[in-house]
Amino acid sequence: MRSMTSDGNGNGDGDGDGDGDGKALHPHDRLAKWVLTRPEAAAVELRQVLPEEVAARLDWPTLRVRSGSFVDPKLTTRHSDILYDIRLRDTERSVLVYVLLEHQSTPDRLMAYRLLRYIVRIWEGFIREQPGPVHHLPLIYPIVLYQGPEGWTQPRRLSGLLDLPDELRDAMGAPVELTFEVDELGDSVLADQHARDGILALVEVTRSLLRLAFRPHETTREHVAPLAPLFETVMTTLGIDDVQALWTYVISAFEPDSPLRDILVQAASQELHTVYATIYDEAVAKGKLEGKLEGRLEGKLEGKLEGKLEGRLEGKLEGRLEGKLEGKLEGKLELLLQLLDERELSLTELQHQRVKACADEGQLQKWFGRALAASDANEVFED
């Protein structure tokens, strides 16, 4: 089977990390994609959801993630997706597993219909990629990962959407049928014997956090405190990047006064707490500086607008607003200077001139990252 490089709409390659109109994805999707686009972690998740007889027939080391998204662009604030390719054991055939991530508090009644549309798009892409006539289509197994607080209450079969009395539906059947599995993220994956401890811990924490984000009534010490040692396992076996991703999600998805934050931080080791505090301080500093800069720019622009001719201002405003308000080079330079000032990192005249003369956005970003933790200005600008 040849791989597909575009979705059913001919949108070309994509990693599934963006939505249709270029807006930033919400934290739930970022965390899910961070973990579930990793084949070893994805295998843990899929073995949890697929029927045992299906999972036993799959050659898990062959699992890979396909590029592309098949979700309607206008629905990407509620749904995102991942497509996996896995070989059938002892064959050259592949099975596709299509996972739709449902990021909303109530289930979509028309989910079976939407899944059918997305599956047809996958098949269309498959057909386009084949060099000759197509005689068979790959099996596609649909799964929905659902975070909502009340559990999945809508039909899991396409026939359940047909406008027929139950007795007629049973007698007539459905001309087209589709069924899908739903993972409500409630069961533990730690009993999986086919993955490393670090991967199991990462998947378990991810599933728990995604679930608790929509189920505050479950945010108790009993449910949350056991996650802290799993954070520790992730850090000691997989590394700091995964722990940073988990803490970033906690800070993004849960309010500062959330019980989950309090319980996790209290149960964390000193090293985990340090990672959390660093990410939290960075988020606060960034938000504070952006707010200050926006306020100052608005004030300056309002002052300049008074008494100026409209035609004369148009050209100036376009250039200055594009540079400062849309995050371009001049705006990043101002943010860096603001951060240095907030952290009381005094610059020499030479260092100040170096910042003002910098035209490399990558260099400014590097200095900004150093400035978040530096104890003096020399640490920021050292080669």
**What pLDDT digit, counting tens, does each position of 85-112 carry?**
999 999 999 999 999 998 888 899 999 9
273: phi then psi, degrees, rounded to nearest 5: -65, -35
Residue 5 in domain: no
Q: Which of 249, 271, 293 is the last residue of a domain?
A: 271
* Strand stretches in the chain, DSSP E: 58-66, 79-88, 94-102, 139-146, 181-183
| 307 and 160, same domain (yes or no) | no
Dihedral angle, C-alpha 207, 186, 42, 124, nearest 10 °: -110
Of 264, 196, 258, 192, which is closest to residue 227 (Cα–Cα)? 264
SS3 call for 17: coil
Q: Which of 250, 271, 292 is the last residue of a domain?
A: 271
Instruction: Check residues 152 and 363 and name the one with the higher pLDDT.
Output: 152
Residue 21 in domain: no
pLDDT band at 9 (very low <50, low <70, confident <90, very high): very low
| 64 and 157, same domain (yes or no) | yes
Question: Rounded to whole angstroms, how far apart are CA atoms 110 and 155?
Answer: 8
Question: Rounded to whole angstroms, how far apart are CA atoms 155 and 76?
Answer: 21
Residue 347 in domain: yes
pLDDT at 22 over 70: no
The total domain count for the chain is 2
| 141 and 257, same domain (yes or no) | yes
CB atoms < 10 A from the CB of 124, how many?
17
| 290 and 147, same domain (yes or no) | no
| 179 and 75, same domain (yes or no) | yes
pLDDT digits (tens, 9 = 90+) for 36-82: 999 999 999 999 999 999 999 999 999 999 988 888 877 776 778 99
- Count of H-run helices and E-run strands, the chain: 16, 5
| 281 and 362, same domain (yes or no) | yes
Question: Amino acid identity of 189?
Answer: V
| 75 and 104, same domain (yes or no) | yes
> Do the strands 181-183 and 139-146 form a parallel or antiparallel pair, or are they unpaired?
parallel
Residue 247 in domain: yes
| 277 and 251, same domain (yes or no) | no
> Which pairs with CB-CB distance under 8 Å and at least 24 residues apart come from 121-125?
121/7, 121/8, 121/9, 121/70, 122/4, 122/7, 122/8, 122/70, 122/83, 122/96, 122/98, 124/8, 125/4, 125/5, 125/6, 125/7, 125/8, 125/68
Q: Which of 271, 306, 336 is the last residue of a domain?
A: 271
pLDDT of residue 79: 79
pLDDT of residue 19: 35
| 221 and 179, same domain (yes or no) | yes
> Domain range spanning residue 286?
273-381
pLDDT at 202 over 70: yes
| 315 and 201, same domain (yes or no) | no
| 43 and 164, same domain (yes or no) | yes
**Mean pLDDT over all residues of the chain?**
82
Kindly give, in sequence order, each residue whose CB lies less than 8 Å from that of residue 279, ignoring residues fewer than 6 positions away.
244, 247, 248, 251
- pTM for the predicted model, two decimal places: 0.69
- The stretch 21-47 carries a mean pLDDT of 84
| 238 and 284, same domain (yes or no) | no
pLDDT digits (tens, 9 = 90+) for 126-151: 999 999 999 999 999 999 999 888 88
